[in-house]
């Protein structure tokens, strides 16, 4: 009896006077021999069996032995699986433990999202050694959106904004170069993105932030740093976030679909 069956059993027991009935859980009943042993234990006393076994031959043993010895059984998964097969026209995978694998992937995604948030925009450079990817780029070169997209695929990403007047943290130079991807973008495209950002923030007038000459200086500085580091460079000028993320995964050697959905 697995966790789901145990929860159902506890809910049922709560409707009866305490102490009249005991509860015993059998987990990982995944072979015919294991099912036979459980049914031997069940026939020696008044028993109700609640089960979530999905392996066909094991289910058949439980049901046939229960019929043979007059043991009442409650099959939790069977009717639900049959119903979904009927409405989808597809056969169930019938693979034990899939829900735990799904839970594991979910928690890996949560961990990666937390990592991305905690290492966004140059925060916590000491954590770079634990990152799967470190993205470099000037302001508004899509570092954060790409980081979050990858995080939702359970990939831990840190990103660092590059500013000519601000030194890069020493931790950047201590991690494997294969983890680092430098982002570049055309000056005109970046100027347009920054102008929209300034406008959205309600800030009027010209500034160095949107000045094309200043932007060219920033990009030149970034490209010089990439050459110094020897990292891969990715032009994001006309790429969607999804495209950029897919290319980053290729660059650092992460197989698409291996970590996430």
pLDDT in tens, 173-186: 999 999 999 999 99
Q: Which of 147, 146, 218 is nearest to 184 (CA)?
A: 218
Q: For the chain, what is the mean pLDDT?
A: 90
Q: Label residue 261 by pLDDT band (50, 70, 90).
A: very low
* Spans of all domains in the chain: 3-92, 105-252
pLDDT in tens, 202-250: 876 668 899 999 999 999 999 999 999 999 999 999 999 999 999 999 9
Go through 119-132 and write b for each residue having 16 or more CB atoms within 10 A of its CB, e for each that does not: bbebeebeebeebb
CATH number of the 105-252 domain: 3.40.50
> Which CA distances in Å does 21 have to 10, 50, 76?
11, 14, 20
Please indicate, yes or no, whether the overall pTM of this predicted structure exceeds 0.85: no
pLDDT in tens, 124-135: 999 999 999 999
- Sheet containing 180-184, strands listed edge to edge, beginning at the edge strand earlier in sequence: 157-161, 133-137, 180-184, 232-235
Q: Which residues share a beta bridge with 157?
A: 133
> Which tops the pLDDT comparison, 34 or 257?
34
> Which tops the pLDDT comparison, 94 or 259?
94
Report the pLDDT value the prediction gives residue 71, as an integer from 0 to 100: 94
pLDDT in tens, 41-94: 888 888 999 998 888 888 899 999 999 999 999 998 888 888 888 999 988 877
């Amino acid at each position: 009896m697995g966790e789901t069956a145990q929860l159902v059993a506890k809910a049922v027991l709560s409707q009866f006077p305490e102490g009249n009935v005991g509860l015993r859980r059998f987990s990982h009943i995944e072979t015919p021999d294991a099912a036979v042993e459980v049914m031997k234990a069940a026939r020696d006393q008044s028993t109700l069996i609640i089960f979530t076994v999905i392996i066909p031959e094991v289910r058949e043993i439980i049901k046939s032995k229960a019929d043979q010895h007059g043991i009442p059984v409650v099959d939790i998964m069977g009717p639900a699986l049959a119903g979904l097969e009927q409405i989808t026209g597809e056969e169930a995978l019938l693979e034990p433990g899939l829900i735990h694998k799904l839970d594991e992937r979910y928690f890996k995604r949560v961990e990666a999202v937390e990592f991305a948030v905690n290492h966004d925009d140059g925060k916590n450079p000491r954590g770079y050694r634990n990152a799967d990817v470190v993205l470099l780029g000037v302001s508004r070169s899509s570092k954060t959106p790409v980081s979050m997209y990858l995080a939702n695929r359970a990939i831990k990403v840190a990103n660092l904004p590059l500013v000519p007047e601000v030194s890069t943290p020493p931790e950047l130079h201590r991690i494997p170069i294969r983890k680092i991807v430098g982002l570049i973008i055309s000056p005109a495209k970046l100027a347009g993105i920054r102008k929209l950002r300034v406008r959205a923030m309600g800030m009027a007038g010209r500034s160095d932030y949107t000045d094309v000459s200043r932007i060219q200086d920033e990009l030149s500085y970034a490209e010089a740093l990439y050459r110094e580091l020897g990292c891969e460079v990715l032009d994001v000028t006309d790429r969607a976030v999804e495209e950029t993320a897919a290319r980053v995964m290729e660059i650092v050697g992460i197989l698409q679909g291996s970590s996430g959905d």
